Structure 1
């Protein structure tokens, strides 16, 4: 059985209350007794249960993180930033996922709240604003890759409208005129990126063409199939919803015998580790993922500690990363 605080107290010959003080790092314990308790804990293999410790002290050191899509490396890299900052401040993470479903996200948020965390970080949530507001009544909330007007909620985003426009500008500079955008459907920030694409195309005097897609590789492959069926001639360039979507596009084009970028150029979004793989070499729009995670954790802990009450709205500037999936259009 898992050793308890009572077991440690018995082994060290002290009270349970003193063991609790040691585990909380209280300065009220003498060095001699502290060493005795820690030695007993090590001998028994005891480690304090984070949830129980939070309940006992009424001061949680847990942060809940809800990830929209565990299959997207973008979110994993943001979690890296959240975890690094949280750990440096003495906090631990509990992570679950909503699977890009509003219904599942509501359940995921409720599950996280059942652990009584100090606060929540929601990554790319698609749950309605009412669900976010309800969660913010129970714990501080920070959204990443999702906008909000709620004064009780902080946000960390990149400027998706600008990022999509940068992708279009890059392709136009290469000589492309038939540029199609695969949007992210109902995914977070999809509408913002779509607006940026449309505005940039019209700025260059070009006709915007948008196909509905999603932030997945299978959706990218499906959209590429629709392009092959519906367009003659084919567009010479594609601005994909994100990196994962772009990989699906490239795979489908390759199966159809088309070469990237010789026949069709492709731009992704996020600059995840996937984009940098040598066999992919995806031109993409970079979001500073770890920095976004760090800013989210920092904003959350400011709320937790009561050092700030007004909302913070971090808006980071994305940048173009050129690799091998874009080039001048073939004659």
Structure 2
């Protein structure tokens, strides 16, 4: 085929001159003897071309090393088909959510732009970056900004808040019932015979408040209101270590500790191990999130699963409904968490 020989000659000449010419859509079209419009339909996954034609085009594109120019195609369509995701770089649970968000987005023809929260990079900066990259909707993982600020942001691009309860803001929310999740941990521990159960909380914020409330409510439900004890913490391993050292310095250890998240629980486990305190022989420890670290055999942590995959799918679905189906009414999806019993909880000594 004349067109085919011409493409090969150009490529060979490019290599002889020490350059690497990037294959173009026209090169793929010439290889298979079709119009660029037909080839574009195949590469975009659009309906129309036959299966035989589709296979020929895909093979030619692979042989030539052709890659779709995403920037050009999005500019031409005036849509980026990008979902912006704000993620805490220090959170293993957020990392797992992002993995599932990628899968869910790809299944419906979208891609993700990630913007991270760090110790020196706040939510405003992260969100501004997502908007600068033309994100069509914003999926915010555990946002801490006030509800009115999130509502104002929703006027720029649809906002889906993941993991946090938000009331009267007119936003889409996907979260698990945090108070119920902590309540399940308390039920489990009380069922084992524990009464002296301490909670290491997550500090300020709605998520920490809900989990702290779940602890208090469950303790009272079991007639253990006089045994309620909350230690101030946050979402880090260091907070768990500080809380454990505080308990070790006291007159007597509680029989169980329930932490805000798995990272804090791992900090508790580390401090107890250094002090020679056996878990669960002398004290039981439970976390929250069921992140990847909690499943490692070296921790084998009893925890609460929020079902990251299900949260991710609901979040992407909410974004697509807003962008492609025109839904305007806000929606809240509240998933029921479930207890995952592993090796760090047992009957009290």
User: Which residue is equivalent to 2:231?
Assistant: 211
SS in 2 for 1:95: strand
The alpha-carbon distance between structure 1 residues 214 and 9, as it changes in their structure 2 partners (threshold 3 A), is same
TM-score norm. by structure 2 comes to: 0.83
Question: Does the alignment pair 1:79 with 2:111?
Answer: no
SS of the counterpart of 2:124?
Answer: helix
Q: Secondary structure at the match of 1:189?
A: helix
Within the candidate set 211, 214, 223, 1:193 is matched to: 211
> Distance in 2 between the 1:263 and 1:271 partners?
23
SS across alignment from 2:85: strand
Structure label with greater radius of gyration: 2
Match status 1:228 vs 2:248:
yes
Q: Structure 1, unaligned stretches of length 5 or more?
A: none
Q: Does residue 274 in structure 1 map to residue 304 in structure 2?
A: no
Q: Distance in 2 between matches of 1:255 and 1:51?
A: 53
CA-CA distance at 1:23 after TM superposition: 4.9
The equivalent of 2:160 in structure 1 is: 142
What's the CA shift for 1:298? 0.9
Cα distance in 1 for partners of 2:282, 2:107 equals: 48
Work out the CA distance in 2 between the residues paired with 1:4 and 1:149.
Answer: 51
Q: What residue in structure 1 maps to residue 8 of structure 2?
A: none
Count of aligned pairs: 326
Contact between 2:25 and 2:40, CA under 8 Å: does it hold in 1? no
Match of 1:183 among 194, 197, 201: 201
Q: In angstroms, what is the RMSD of aligned CA positions?
A: 2.8
Measured in 2, the distance between the counterparts of 1:129 and 1:211 equals 27
**Structure 2 CA distance, aligned partners of 1:34 and 1:172?**
61
Measured in 2, the distance between the counterparts of 1:64 and 1:28 equals: 31
Tell me the distance in 2 between the aligned counterparts of 1:208 and 1:242. 19
Flag structure 2 segments of 5+ consecutive residues without an equivalent.
1-18
SS state at 1:275 partner: helix
Out of 119, 122, 138, the residue aligned to residue 120 of structure 1 is 138
User: SS in structure 2 opposite 1:171?
Assistant: helix
Give the 3 Å change call, closer, same or farther, for CA 152–217 of structure 1 in structure 2: same
Q: Tell me, in whole angstroms, the C-alpha distance in 2 between the residues paired with 1:110 and 1:138.
A: 11
| Partner SS, residue 125 of structure 2 | helix
Q: 2:108 matched to 1:89?
A: yes
Cα deviations across residues 209-247 of structure 1 (Å, max 9, x unaligned)?
A: 111111111211121112222x21111110011111101
CA distance in 2, matches of 1:31, 1:283: 50
Match of 1:9 in 2: 26
Q: 1:15 to 1:151 in 2, by over 3 A?
A: farther
